[in-house]
Chain A
């Protein structure tokens, strides 16, 4: 397979940080033609940042890129294309109201004239050469996602790329479309001897297609090996780390006394409350989505416990949080919040019953242009209203209290968008816990936060548990789940595969379950 000229790309010692968060911590990685190179890692491990660097979408702080042994400067996607690098991102950049041919013609930047016939010709030859069959004269908006994706791939190929990066291409595809995409990747590799970089969370696909696999964890490559003979379990083990590989930093975050206190709470919590203390009951909930949906999910959460939800990204966690927050209507099933069955769950009804949500994307949960004080009371306006008028005095008092209690570094009138990630998260947590919810659903609460904020947010979550809140902690950070949760539910393909108590929840056991192994 590697009998051709040894042209290749080397990323050397790539480093990139966003503020205090280190996204890439000196990554070195080689990509060779004629191979499918899988890039694996949890969300936030740095896969996408690394590939964006290669495609010229972000600039590294240091490190260099070598192509065929020569140092290359890639500061824009245009540079990347000129170097033969193409990328299909998760969000397609197609003009939906135009046809396939028109989109292909648009991507052809060499010509001044819009060459529709040329574009049709490209589409026709693509079918013969790569097995990519797209209807050239259909509108993009009328095509299913799988075909839109093929148009994106075609755009990259038409620009003459030799290295094709696919960022989680199968996240949006059904099983049959996945098979077809893998076929295309095989042809590109074997017949065109191209390099395909596949960013994915899905072990099965990696087992099926990858020649090499590199695993990233916390901005570093922890393994870059031949994919043959690697099992899903081994890959997941690399991805989440093993007990002895665990960074000392995460141990330091939990102080000895904190550990003892939370263990104590766990035991008393489990002993103290029977089924009577159930504050959240999810019964047979499914969502209609073909990919990433929920399939007959049932579980219970008791007052004063943290139920951790672990799983490889894309196995239904997002839908679960959306259903619990009322922004996604389930197709079947029932949600009961502190004894009250919520029909047709909407955010307001769920909140009234005692539900509180911290969404996975804090930017989507906050009104950036409004000041801290107004964001803080947005979900409980009724308590700050007199005769329809905002009670500014009560709002200011609440805000001062929250700023002190949650150590928020901001003034009440500062617009929320100007706060750091950690402080924004604290504002949202202050809002959430300010309502003293019976159930708190927190999703990826520390994603992208620095060490100090991470520690603080985790301590907030455990103290909420100690005060009797039933917490659902959805996180892709397995350390976080293992550190905080009293029980761990593992999601796999839209189902809850098993619920394991904290005592039995070892990294190995959870890792196996995340790979779908129930033994």
Chain B
């Protein structure tokens, strides 16, 4: 008897959720061992990581705040991936967005808020798209693989920020490598009174909803999906594969850029070296965990927000490394991807051929 994997023609509806549950259990088992090894109590660590943040208003709102940039980058990555454009550069595009937003914010003194807030978001979008442009052109014109080019532009964006903060944008009061605080007019309003949760959450949610609508309901979305699933067949059907890829890559960069602007305009209010703690990379995790579903992406972003906040309190309380949160995310990614792949196949036990 030898096991063979056969592609499923149809999947019962309960299989997906069941496998995800299995993935969660597997994640728990693996990370529990690691937490043990690091000298912590896994049950306690999990209580801090998942339950504690949800037991106080502060925990909840901080989790939502941590999730906000991930809503943008998750949608950006999912959109690109749906078209078969493997954009690993959301990090750099988000950073480019923070540059654009900071520039706009430093020059927007005196503008009315109704103009300044959209303006700062658009500035972020434009810079994000510009950062995505070169890899997108290389891919659509010359067929150069975008995984490497988008990825390698990420540290470049950070270097540009470092250069700006040590040069023209050095803080005029403290002399530290942080920019000045942006104009009051570009700061987005707080939407959850008594917390730091800002309008960026709503903007991100709307963008994710818009992406879903576009991909599921619009003709352009069908084109995008067809190009992503079978570029050859799409070309035969007369679709402009290269143009679709280019447009999607730019849209993806723009969404990540808005995510960067949302951080500047919503919470940070100034550009710093550590403005992004890997939001773009985590966006890849968000999109993948959500199986490239946009609404699911918002949910996953919120879950990862909880883990981020929780892993800090777990680390403080149990003196385990605070990077355990990232470890949990990574293990979850691996198990869920495995579950999604397994979900596509069924196992056939077949007697060896005579």
Q: How far, in Å, is A241 (CB) from chain B's closest CB? A: 32
Contacts A367-B233, A370-B226, A389-B218; is A348 near B240 (CB within 8 Å)? yes
B10 interface residue per 8 A CB criterion: yes
Contacts A75-B352, A75-B353, A389-B217; is A374 near B222 (CB within 8 Å)? yes
In the bound complex, CA of A325 to CA of B236 (Å): 7
CB contact list, B157-182 vs A, under 8 A = none
A114 interface residue per 8 A CB criterion: no
- A352-386 vs B, CB cutoff 8 Å, 1 = contact: the mask equals 00000101000011111110001000110110110
Question: Does the CB pair B353–A367 fall under 8 Å?
Answer: no
In the bound complex, CA of A431 to CA of B229 (Å): 19
In the bound complex, CA of A351 to CA of B220 (Å): 19
Question: Does the CB pair A378–B237 fall under 8 Å?
Answer: yes
Question: Does the CB pair A378–B239 fall under 8 Å?
Answer: yes
Residues of chain A within 8 A (CB-CB) of B229 are 367-370
A418 interface residue per 8 A CB criterion: yes
Question: Does the CB pair B219–A389 fall under 8 Å?
Answer: yes
Question: Does the CB pair B222–A73 fall under 8 Å?
Answer: no
Q: How far, in Å, is A336 (CB) from chain B's closest CB? A: 19
In the bound complex, CA of A370 to CA of B230 (Å): 10
Question: Does the CB pair B235–A347 fall under 8 Å?
Answer: yes
B274 interface residue per 8 A CB criterion: no
Question: Does the CB pair B223–A381 fall under 8 Å?
Answer: yes
In the bound complex, CA of A381 to CA of B238 (Å): 10
Question: Does the CB pair B226–A390 fall under 8 Å?
Answer: no
Q: Is the interface of B mostly helix, strand, loop or mixed?
A: helix
Question: Does the CB pair A390–B352 fall under 8 Å?
Answer: no
Among candidates A59, A73, A365, A369, residue contacting B236 with C-beta atoms closer than 8 Å: A365
B3 interface residue per 8 A CB criterion: no
Question: Does the CB pair A347–B238 fall under 8 Å?
Answer: yes
In the bound complex, CA of A86 to CA of B133 (Å): 48
Q: How far, in Å, is A276 (CB) from chain B's closest CB? A: 28
A327 interface residue per 8 A CB criterion: yes
In the bound complex, CA of A466 to CA of B231 (Å): 34
Question: Does the CB pair A385–B235 fall under 8 Å?
Answer: no
Nearest A residue (CB) for B240: A348
A388 interface residue per 8 A CB criterion: yes
B210 interface residue per 8 A CB criterion: no
Question: Does the CB pair A365–B238 fall under 8 Å?
Answer: no
Question: Does the CB pair B218–A390 fall under 8 Å?
Answer: yes
Residues of chain A within 8 A (CB-CB) of B235 are 327, 347
Question: Does the CB pair A368–B230 fall under 8 Å?
Answer: yes
Residues of chain A within 8 A (CB-CB) of B219 are 381-382, 384-385, 388-390
Supply 19 further A-B pairs (C-beta < 8 A) apart from A364-B236, A384-B219: A75-B352, A325-B236, A348-B240, A350-B238, A365-B232, A365-B237, A367-B225, A367-B230, A374-B226, A378-B222, A378-B226, A378-B233, A378-B234, A378-B237, A378-B239, A382-B219, A388-B219, A417-B9, A418-B9
Of residues B9, B221, B230, B353, which shows the largest number of chain A Cβ atoms within 10 Å of its Cβ?
A: B230
Of residues A75, A364, A378, A384, which shows the largest number of chain B Cβ atoms within 10 Å of its Cβ?
A: A378
Question: Does the CB pair B238–A359 fall under 8 Å?
Answer: no
Residues of chain A within 8 A (CB-CB) of B217 are 389-390
Q: How far, in Å, is A433 (CB) from chain B's closest CB? A: 15
In the bound complex, CA of A327 to CA of B241 (Å): 12
CB contact list, A133-176 vs B, under 8 A = none
Q: How far, in Å, is A8 (CB) from chain B's closest CB? A: 22
Nearest A residue (CB) for B231: A367
Q: How far, in Å, is A17 (CB) from chain B's closest CB? A: 15
In the bound complex, CA of A418 to CA of B218 (Å): 25
Residues of chain B within 8 A (CB-CB) of A381 are 219, 222-223
Nearest B residue (CB) for A385: B219
CB contact list, A78-113 vs B, under 8 A = none
Of residues B9, B218, B234, B238, which shows the largest number of chain A Cβ atoms within 10 Å of its Cβ?
A: B238
Question: Does the CB pair B236–A390 fall under 8 Å?
Answer: no
Residues of chain B within 8 A (CB-CB) of A368 are 229-230
- B207-222 vs A, CB cutoff 8 Å, 1 = contact: the mask equals 0000000000111111
Residues of chain A within 8 A (CB-CB) of B218 are 388-390
Residues of chain A within 8 A (CB-CB) of B234 are 367, 378
In the bound complex, CA of A327 to CA of B226 (Å): 17
Question: Does the CB pair B236–A347 fall under 8 Å?
Answer: yes
- Which 9 residue pairs spanning A and B have beta carbons closest together? A379-B237, A385-B219, A418-B9, A348-B238, A378-B237, A367-B230, A347-B238, A59-B353, A351-B238
Q: How far, in Å, is B202 (CB) from chain A's closest CB? A: 24
Nearest B residue (CB) for A351: B238
Among candidates B10, B220, B223, B225, residue contacting A418 with C-beta atoms closer than 8 Å: B10
Nearest A residue (CB) for B354: A73
Residues of chain B within 8 A (CB-CB) of A369 are 229-230
Residues of chain B within 8 A (CB-CB) of A359 are 236
In the bound complex, CA of A364 to CA of B219 (Å): 22
Residues of chain B within 8 A (CB-CB) of A327 are 235-236
Can you pick out 20 interface pairs between chain A and chain B where the beta carbons lie within 8 Å of each other? A75-B353, A325-B236, A347-B235, A348-B239, A348-B240, A350-B238, A366-B230, A367-B230, A369-B229, A369-B230, A370-B225, A370-B226, A374-B222, A374-B226, A378-B222, A378-B237, A378-B239, A389-B218, A390-B221, A390-B222
Question: Does the CB pair B226–A367 fall under 8 Å?
Answer: yes
In the bound complex, CA of A388 to CA of B352 (Å): 54
Contacts A367-B229, A378-B222, A381-B223; is A357 near B236 (CB within 8 Å)? yes
Of residues A365, A367, A379, A431, which shows the largest number of chain B Cβ atoms within 10 Å of its Cβ?
A: A367
Residues of chain A within 8 A (CB-CB) of B230 are 364, 366-369
In the bound complex, CA of A369 to CA of B227 (Å): 11
Q: How far, in Å, is B238 (CB) from chain A's closest CB? A: 4
Among candidates A73, A364, A385, residue contacting B232 with C-beta atoms closer than 8 Å: A364
Among candidates A75, A365, A385, residue contacting B233 with C-beta atoms closer than 8 Å: A365
Residues of chain B within 8 A (CB-CB) of A347 are 235-239
CB contact list, A309-355 vs B, under 8 A = 325, 327, 347-348, 350-351
Residues of chain B within 8 A (CB-CB) of A374 are 222, 226
Residues of chain A within 8 A (CB-CB) of B221 are 390
In the bound complex, CA of A431 to CA of B10 (Å): 24
Nearest A residue (CB) for B241: A347
In the bound complex, CA of A325 to CA of B232 (Å): 12
In the bound complex, CA of A478 to CA of B229 (Å): 35
Residues of chain B within 8 A (CB-CB) of A388 are 218-220
In the bound complex, CA of A378 to CA of B233 (Å): 10
Residues of chain B within 8 A (CB-CB) of A325 are 236
Residues of chain A within 8 A (CB-CB) of B237 are 347, 365, 378-379, 431
Q: How far, in Å, is B226 (CB) from chain A's closest CB? A: 5
Residues of chain A within 8 A (CB-CB) of B233 are 364-367, 378
In the bound complex, CA of A431 to CA of B219 (Å): 17
Residues of chain B within 8 A (CB-CB) of A73 are 353-354
Residues of chain B within 8 A (CB-CB) of A350 are 238
Q: How far, in Å, is B214 (CB) from chain A's closest CB? A: 9
CB contact list, A205-255 vs B, under 8 A = none
Q: How far, in Å, is A78 (CB) from chain B's closest CB? A: 13
In the bound complex, CA of A379 to CA of B219 (Å): 11
- A374-407 vs B, CB cutoff 8 Å, 1 = contact: the mask equals 1000110110110011100000000000000000
In the bound complex, CA of A385 to CA of B218 (Å): 8
Residues of chain A within 8 A (CB-CB) of B225 are 367, 370
